[in-house]
């Protein structure tokens, strides 16, 4: 662990070396001097001084300077991240973003010390065009759709009205402060204050994500804060540009304000439409990728990025576009592409967003070391205070309203976390650099940096203990049991039915309508040979089955006990099973990590698909034969429940055991119909009572296990 | 408003109903309007075919069960019972949400388990579960898959291994579920 820190410091030293070697403005001196007698004017290239001879060894840094430095920065940030995770107790206390900022500060300080000039800063263009999209794309792709739409009203309420409240509040109060401190702050006009308010008030999705995902609060809370941070981009962008253009205009009229309001709507909805358009296009394209599967993931990224760039070009909300694009294309793309492509997509998304986030925070730290700071106690302190106060009051007021309309109220604890979790981040930072120059711009920059550092460090570090202290409801970890899933679906249908009877077009009604539309038109058009939509019950069931096959010890509810009918496994059989399991099956942690975790991808089952399921649980085998029997016995006119006839188990289960596919169901699918017919004559016999039953079962068990034992011999 | 008070007079025993069900007069009015629109031949009471005319309910997988559940008592549905219908729905909600107050076992009330338990023997047998699953999953899954799912669900919940889910087991299996968040319908004022 210390080795990693040393390594990263070494790297930063090398980075400095490179930077020191280059000329301060970074522009390479002309290369086109002929390789004359040993003299060279470009620094950094050595040569053997031989007249009219070839250079045996030369170094040409300028040729690779730009990519080299970029890679070094990324390497440095990633090594710091690695070191962070290896460093014992630190991750539990300090969120990753803080550590990265500190590393950035360190490196920035060192660079400053060496070169006595400001280190490279994060340019706004680089941030908005290259660093922000991957993070937002990742967030949009893994957005929990259902939860998001259920809470959409509340999220919009917070995003639009909350941001407006904050902007106006902070702007006006700051202006009041400036009026009070006439001496030092007299030349900050109202519009400047409003502009500043607009950029400092917005909650930042990057910061929120990085802190909240380590916290594991309940999903509703997470989606509220996170959704708000995504959607307030529309409002922020508009207000910022609005105030900026007001600053340039000679005068502002009421009409302009009204137009500004219209612009919010246009920006938001425009971004949405752009995203939808590209999302559907991506879905359509993915339909045809079956012959070139390797590039299928590329389309996801290309289309999303294109949607972002297009909406930035049209001055619409890029964040909304990319989120919509990702959320739209997800279900169709995942149905169209192969398993490996799906995993690649998810993995690359995580990787890129991780790199982006790391870079952003590191650069935040580096850029703090500037020589253009201007400090003013009243301004900075009042900004900090006002941000906190206005956010708290905003959340309180808005929640009071929204709770009347919501089904499940947002509790006070949740409200506190929402207010406290309003972190500012790199978006504010970039926006403040983009302001037109005016005397107090440096003050704004300094203040923004202070606010960002304060929210990320103080609020970011303390929010986790607060969440535990206040007993905020945490996220459920386990996969829901099948009963829960079934009942949950039943309740959905029930409530939809009730809404129907009462004639109320509620949420369920619209959801149903959308699902029907989706099934009828969209899926048929966008998905290649639409395999059946898997209902959530089926998915949960399959997931539970898969887990069972892979790992025996689970924290899941006690499920699938061997049938308590007096049949137990012989000790040597248990041993061989155990040995096979420990040798063959992956020993992986069964905790279901949330999909939007920065560090890990939810362990996808795709890796295991190619494995043969070696171990079929006893009762699964039985269940299978029971299934096939009852299937045709249903045709016979039904049979009473308790009589379970188990015959022909051997054939059925050997088929399913060897199949390379991992789900029981697929194999049973193909084998089922064939089996039933052949078993017809056998099972019609009524004298298959207990003794034979027992014998058959034992025979079955032994056969089953003999297969297992055989397999072991092969290893 | 003048109109509302006159239309309130259409509803017999309005005050008493309001007290019984806890609805506001606006709600009652709305329900009454709905009642009148459902009761097409103006019989003054509702019957199952009135409900079946509702398109959405026909497409709802458990639509039939809902209708059955509410007509099981056989009382003709004049308006007070319709508000009683709503009351039952509310009861379904409330019994599920009573979890919050009691904080002990979740009161997954008789309401929703009645939707499974058609023969009213107090247990959800495998066949009943299969029927519900078949209705909900429909054509998406094969028969074997349905059987497996039902099997598994019963195994998860069935603690006394009698191969049927009794009411207590039902409650227990839903302990961890956030029923109150799901089981509520907000009514526009």
Per-residue model confidence as pLDDT tens digits over A200-216: 988 888 888 888 877 77
The pLDDT score that the predictor gives to residue A644 is 39
Minimum-distance CB partner of B177 among A407, A487, A664: A487
Among the listed residues A323, A319, A279, the one whose alpha carbon sits nearest the alpha carbon of residue A303: A279
pLDDT digits (tens, 9 = 90+) for A112-159: 888 777 777 777 888 889 999 999 899 888 888 878 888 888 888 888
The pLDDT score that the predictor gives to residue A274 is 94
Q: Are A131 and A205 in contact (CB under 8 A)?
A: no
Q: Is the pLDDT of residue A44 over 50?
A: no
The DSSP symbol for B123 reads E
Complete DSSP assignment for A574-614: HHHHHHHHHHHS---------TT-SS-----THHHHTS---
Mean pLDDT of chain A: 71
Contact criterion met (CB < 8 Å) for A641 and B142: no
The pLDDT score that the predictor gives to residue A289 is 83
The pLDDT score that the predictor gives to residue A235 is 82
The pLDDT score that the predictor gives to residue A545 is 75
Q: Is the pLDDT of residue A559 over 60?
A: no
Q: Is the pLDDT of residue A278 over 90?
A: yes
User: Which of the residues B82, B160, B177 would you substitute to probe the A interface, choosing the one with the greatest number of A C-beta atoms within 10 Å?
Assistant: B177
Distance CA A100, CA A589 (A): 27
Q: Which residues of B touch A487 (CB under 8 A)?
A: 112, 174, 177
Query: In chain A, which among 449-468 make CB contacts under 8 A with chain B?
Result: none
> Does A503 contact chain B (CB < 8 Å)?
yes
Neighbours of B74 (CB within 10 A): 5
Range in A413-427, A489-503, B75-89, B136-150 with the lowest mean pLDDT: B75-89
Q: Is residue A546 exposed (0-12), middle (13-18) or buried (19+ Cβ within 10 Å)?
A: middle
pLDDT digits (tens, 9 = 90+) for B73-111: 544 455 554 555 555 555 444 444 443 333 333 333 344
Q: Which residues of A touch B162 (CB under 8 A)?
A: none
Tell me which long-range contacts B42-46 makes (C-beta under 8 A, separation of at least 24): B44/B78, B45/B76, B45/B77, B45/B78, B45/B81, B46/B76, B46/B77, B46/B82
Q: Distances in Å between the alpha carbon of A446 and those of A102, A218, A377, A433? A: 17, 35, 11, 11
Over residues A226-253, mean pLDDT: 81
Q: Is the pLDDT of residue B5 over 80?
A: no
Distance CA A669, CA B145 (A): 8
Q: Is the pLDDT of residue A17 over 60?
A: no
Contact criterion met (CB < 8 Å) for A497 and B66: yes
Minimum-distance CB partner of B137 among A405, A538, A559: A538
Minimal Cα distance from A541: which residue of B? B149
Over residues A462-483, mean pLDDT: 75
Distance CA B132, CA B155 (A): 17
Contact criterion met (CB < 8 Å) for A405 and B186: yes
pLDDT band at A308 (very low <50, low <70, confident <90, very high): very high
Q: From the CA of B101, how many Å to the nearest CA of chain A?
A: 15
Torsion A68-A71-A76-A79 (CA) sign? negative
The pLDDT score that the predictor gives to residue B114 is 59
Q: Are A626 and A646 in contact (CB under 8 A)?
A: yes
Over residues A522-527, mean pLDDT: 74
Residue B164 phi/psi, 5-degree rounding, is -145, 155
pLDDT digits (tens, 9 = 90+) for A169-203: 999 998 888 888 777 777 778 888 889 999 898 88
| Tokens describing residue A431 | 């926006």
Distance CA A276, CA A320 (A): 10
The pLDDT score that the predictor gives to residue A237 is 80
Q: From the CA of B1, how many Å to the nearest CA of chain A?
A: 23
Over residues A103-118, mean pLDDT: 83
The pLDDT score that the predictor gives to residue A302 is 93
Range in A35-49, A233-247, A538-552 with the lowest mean pLDDT: A35-49
Contact criterion met (CB < 8 Å) for A495 and B185: yes
The pLDDT score that the predictor gives to residue A611 is 42
Range in A39-53, A240-254, B107-121 with the lowest mean pLDDT: A39-53
pLDDT digits (tens, 9 = 90+) for A401-413: 888 877 677 788 8
Contact criterion met (CB < 8 Å) for B142 and A672: yes
Cα B164 to the center of its chain, rounded Å: 22
Q: Is the pLDDT of residue A642 over 50?
A: no
The pLDDT score that the predictor gives to residue A276 is 92
Q: From the CA of A478, how many Å to the nearest CA of chain B?
A: 10
Longest dimension (CA), chain B: 62
Q: Does ipTM surpass 0.85 in this model? A: no
Q: Are A117 and A24 in contact (CB under 8 A)?
A: yes
Distance CA A251, CA A247 (A): 8
């Amino acid at each position: 662990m210390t080795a990693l820190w040393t390594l990263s410091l070494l790297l930063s030293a090398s980075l400095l070396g490179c930077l020191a070697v280059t000329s301060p403005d970074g522009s390479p001196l002309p290369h086109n001097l002929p390789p004359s007698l040993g003299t060279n004017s470009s620094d950094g290239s050595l040569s053997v001084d031989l007249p009219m001879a070839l250079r045996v060894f030369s170094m040409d840094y300028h040729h690779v300077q730009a990519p080299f430095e970029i890679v070094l920065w990324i390497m440095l940030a990633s090594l710091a991240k690695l070191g962070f995770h290896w460093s014992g107790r630190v991750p539990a206390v300090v969120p990753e973003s803080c550590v990265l900022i500190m590393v950035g500060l360190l490196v920035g300080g060192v660079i400053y010390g060496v070169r006595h000039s400001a280190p490279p800063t994060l340019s706004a263009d680089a941030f908005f065009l290259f660093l922000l999209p991957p993070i937002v794309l990742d967030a949009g792709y893994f957005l929990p759709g259902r939860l998001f739409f259920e809470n959409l009203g509340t999220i919009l309420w917070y995003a639009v009205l909350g941001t407006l409240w904050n902007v106006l509040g902070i702007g006006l109060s700051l202006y009041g402060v400036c009026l009070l401190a006439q001496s030092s702050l007299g030349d900050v006009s109202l519009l400047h204050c409003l502009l500043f308010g607009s950029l400092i008030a917005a909650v930042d999705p990057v910061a929120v994500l990085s802190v909240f995902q380590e916290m594991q609060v309940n999903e509703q809370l997470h989606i509220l804060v996170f959704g708000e941070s995504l959607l307030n981009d529309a409002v922020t962008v508009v207000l910022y540009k609005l105030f900026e253009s007001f600053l340039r205009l000679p005068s502002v009229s009421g009409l302009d304000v009204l137009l500004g309001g219209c612009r919010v709507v246009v920006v938001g909805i425009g971004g949405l439409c752009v995203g939808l358009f590209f999302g559907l296009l991506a879905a359509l394209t993915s339909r045809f990728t079956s012959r070139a599967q390797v590039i299928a993931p590329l389309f996801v990224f290309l289309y999303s990025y294109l949607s972002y760039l297009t909406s930035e070009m049209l001055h619409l909300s890029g964040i909304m576009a990319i989120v919509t694009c990702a959320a739209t294309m997800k279900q169709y793309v995942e149905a169209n592409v192969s398993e490996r492509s799906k995993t690649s997509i998810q993995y690359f998304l995580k990787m890129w967003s991780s790199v982006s986030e790391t870079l952003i925070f590191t650069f935040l730290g580096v850029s703090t070391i500037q020589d253009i700071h201007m400090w003013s106690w009243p301004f900075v302190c009042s900004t900090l205070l006002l941000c906190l106060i206005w956010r708290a009051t905003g959340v309180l007021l808005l929640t009071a309203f929204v709770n009347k309309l919501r089904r499940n109220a947002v509790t006070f604890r949740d409200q506190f976390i929402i207010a406290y979790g309003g972190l500012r981040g790199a978006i504010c930072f970039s926006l403040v650099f983009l302001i037109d120059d005016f005397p107090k711009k440096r003050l704004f920059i300094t203040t923004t940096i202070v606010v960002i550092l304060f929210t990320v460090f103080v609020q970011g570090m303390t929010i986790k203990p607060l969440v535990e202290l206040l007993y905020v409801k945490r996220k459920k970890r386990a996969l829901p049991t099948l009963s829960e899933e079934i009942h949950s679906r039943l309740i959905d249908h029930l409530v939809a039915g009730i809404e129907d009877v009462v004639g109320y077009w509620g949420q369920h009604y619209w959801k149903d309508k959308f699902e029907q539309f989706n099934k009828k038109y969209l899926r048929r058009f966008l998905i290649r040979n639409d395999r059946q939509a898997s209902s959530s019950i089926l998915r949960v069931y399959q997931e539970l089955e898969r887990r069972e096959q892979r790992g025996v010890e689970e924290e899941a509810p006690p499920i699938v006990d061997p049938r308590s009918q007096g049949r137990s496994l012989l000790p040597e059989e248990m041993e061989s099973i155990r040995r096979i399991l420990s040798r063959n099956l992956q020993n992986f942690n069964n905790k279901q990590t949330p999909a939007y975790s920065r560090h890990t991808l939810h362990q996808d089952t795709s890796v295991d698909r190619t494995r043969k399921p070696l171990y079929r649980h006893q009762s699964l085998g039985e269940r299978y034969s029971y299934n096939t029997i009852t299937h045709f016995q249903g045709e016979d006119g039904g049979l009473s429940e308790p009589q379970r006839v188990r015959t022909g188990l051997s054939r059925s289960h050997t088929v399913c055991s060897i199949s390379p596919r991992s789900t029981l169901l697929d194999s049973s699918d193909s084998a089922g119909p064939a089996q039933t017919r052949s078993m017809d004559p056998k099972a019609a016999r009524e004298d298959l009572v207990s003794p034979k039953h027992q014998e058959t079962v034992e025979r079955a068990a032994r056969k089953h296990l003999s297969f297992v034992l055989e397999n072991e011999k092969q290893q | 408003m003048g109109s509302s008070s006159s239309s309130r007079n259409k509803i017999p025993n309005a005050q008493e109903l309001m007290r019984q069900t806890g609805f506001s007069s606006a709600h009652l009015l709305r329900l009454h309007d709905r009642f009148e629109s459902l009761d097409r031949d103006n019989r003054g009471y509702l019957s199952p075919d009135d409900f079946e005319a509702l398109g959405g309910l026909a497409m709802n997988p458990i639509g039939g069960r809902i209708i059955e559940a509410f007509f099981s008592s056989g009382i003709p549905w004049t308006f007070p019972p319709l508000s009683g219908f709503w009351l039952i729905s509310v009861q379904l909600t409330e019994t599920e949400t009573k979890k919050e107050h009691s904080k002990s076992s979740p009161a997954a009330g008789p309401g929703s388990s009645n939707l499974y338990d058609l023969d009213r023997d107090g247990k959800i047998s495998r066949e009943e579960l299969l029927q519900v699953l078949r209705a909900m999953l429909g054509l998406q899954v094969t028969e074997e898959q349905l059987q497996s799912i039902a099997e598994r669900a019963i195994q998860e919940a069935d603690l006394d291994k009698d191969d049927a889910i009794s009411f207590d087991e039902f409650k227990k299996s839903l302990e961890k579920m956030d029923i109150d968040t799901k089981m509520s319908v907000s009514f526009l004022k």
